[in-house]
Amino acid sequence: MATSQVAAFLKTTAEQLRQRTDDAPITVVLGNEAADLDSTIASLLVAHLASLNAPENNGRIYVPALPIARADLALRTDVTAFLSTLLPDAANLLFFQDGLPTIFSPAVAQPESLQISLTDFNALPPSLAHLHPFVNAILDHHVDAHDYAHAVPRTITAVGSATTLVVLHYANVIASLPALHRAEIATLALGPITVDTALFDVGMARATEADVVAAKMCLAWRDGRDADVPADANVDATIVTDAARTTHLVAALDDLHERLHAAKLAISHLPTADLLRKDYKEFRHPTLDNAVYGMASVTWDLRAWQHRDGITAWREAVAQWARDRHLHSLFILTAFADEGRFTRQLAVVAPESGRAEVIVDAVREQAPEVRLEPSEEGAFGWVRNIKMARKVIQPVLHRVLAKL
């Protein structure tokens, strides 16, 4: 088996961190707090490729990091399944919040040489607000929070996958590498691009022209061929609507998508607290006295979840979880196949009595694009607009909360 260049990079980085002095220059490439497959791979590849592209002897250490505890990687069943063959010792090789206490602790003064690069998000959550002065680069596909105007690059474009933006930004660097090294990077990139575009399903309206370009390059590199690197640096975020344009990509990536999709759905054994925190993000709302609300994405039917725990116990557990985090409100967004049909649900939880009902009514009245319908089968509503992934629905909910 060929030596993994990415694993070698991570081992070298770990050794550099052990020998680092307090004032040595360091760039921490952060994935978002959900630490999903896209964040994990995007942050890893940015750090690796930035280190390869850095001036010789600049002494800067490039560290890919996820703002979760190392033990929590096991909750990301699709991430661990994907890395099991590509980076078998991922849990020990990757960098996490508990392994970088001086960076993640608000109580520790950070050196001026620290730089923070954001991948797969463009606004720090409340728990990482102390890192705000150090953000100097962004590659992200969420709604622009209009912060960090000085960042270079500051690429915030609504493509399917943040990893697509990484591939496009570093395309010339990847193309210059030896074939085996290119293939390893391309294989890693294809995982999140495949998942986040829903295997280029035009009905889901996630895949853009940029995702197609990135996937084509990665497939060529994965298979040992040269790729056509676009000379134009602009990112085309036009949604792909012609299924015929992606037929070859679907055929090439179908097995990978099925494997990752199955792994992502294998979560029904997890207790409620783990289901909520495995793909969770927090947001601060300035018009609600800076209150914090949370969003948990769960790939399981709420009917089955509530039946497993019992509806009363489920309500108590999720409400307590929200109280423990001092949340204004908690939104649980599901995504799963119901008799072969892609389905979404939304549950709203609030510690304050009556608040959840007010929010649900406001969403129905003020955000008709969500198409939230009541359910008689459990404590949730049906999101009939299946395009409402978290990155799409979160700005809508933010707007609704502002009018409460």
Model confidence over 361-395: pLDDT tens digits? 999 999 999 999 999 887 899 999 999 999 999 99
The pLDDT of residue 379 is 84
Residue 181 has pLDDT above 50, yes or no: yes
Mean per-residue pLDDT, 313-334: 97
Which residues have C-beta within 8 Å of that of residue 336, sequence separation ≥ 6? 265, 299, 300, 301, 342, 343
Task: Give the residue-averaged pLDDT of 246-268.
Answer: 96
Question: How much is the pLDDT for 4?
Answer: 94
Specify the DSSP class assigned to residue 95.
E
Distance (Å, whole) CA 287 – CA 191 = 38
Percent of the chain with pLDDT over 70: 99
Query: How large is the average pLDDT for residues 321-349?
Result: 96
7-14: average pLDDT: 96
Average pLDDT, the chain: 95
Predicted pLDDT of residue 107: 82
Classify domain 5-261 at the CATH class level: alpha beta
Q: How far, in Å, CA of 304 to CA of 45, rounded? A: 37
User: pLDDT at position 285, please?
Assistant: 94
Residue ranges, CATH 3.90.1640.10, the chain: 5-261
| Residue 350 vs residues 305, 318, 325, 333, 354: alpha-carbon distances, Å | 19, 9, 11, 15, 8
pLDDT tens sequence across 139-173? 999 999 999 999 999 999 999 999 999 999 999 99
Q: How confident is the model at residue 223 (pLDDT cuts 50, 70, 90)?
A: very high
Question: In whole angstroms, what is the distance from residue 80 CA to residue 273 CA?
Answer: 19
Architecture of the domain whose range is 272-402: Roll (3.10)
Residue 57 has pLDDT above 80, yes or no: no
pLDDT over 60 (residue 65): yes
The residues of the chain that CATH labels 3.10.310.20 are 272-402
Give the per-residue pLDDT at 1: 45
Q: Is residue 79 within 8 Å of 139, Cβ to Cβ?
A: no
The mean pLDDT of 17-28, rounded to a whole number, is 91
Which pTM value belongs to this model?
0.92
Q: List the one residue out of 234, 94, 223, 245 whose CA is nearest residue 171.
A: 234
Single-letter residue type at 230: P
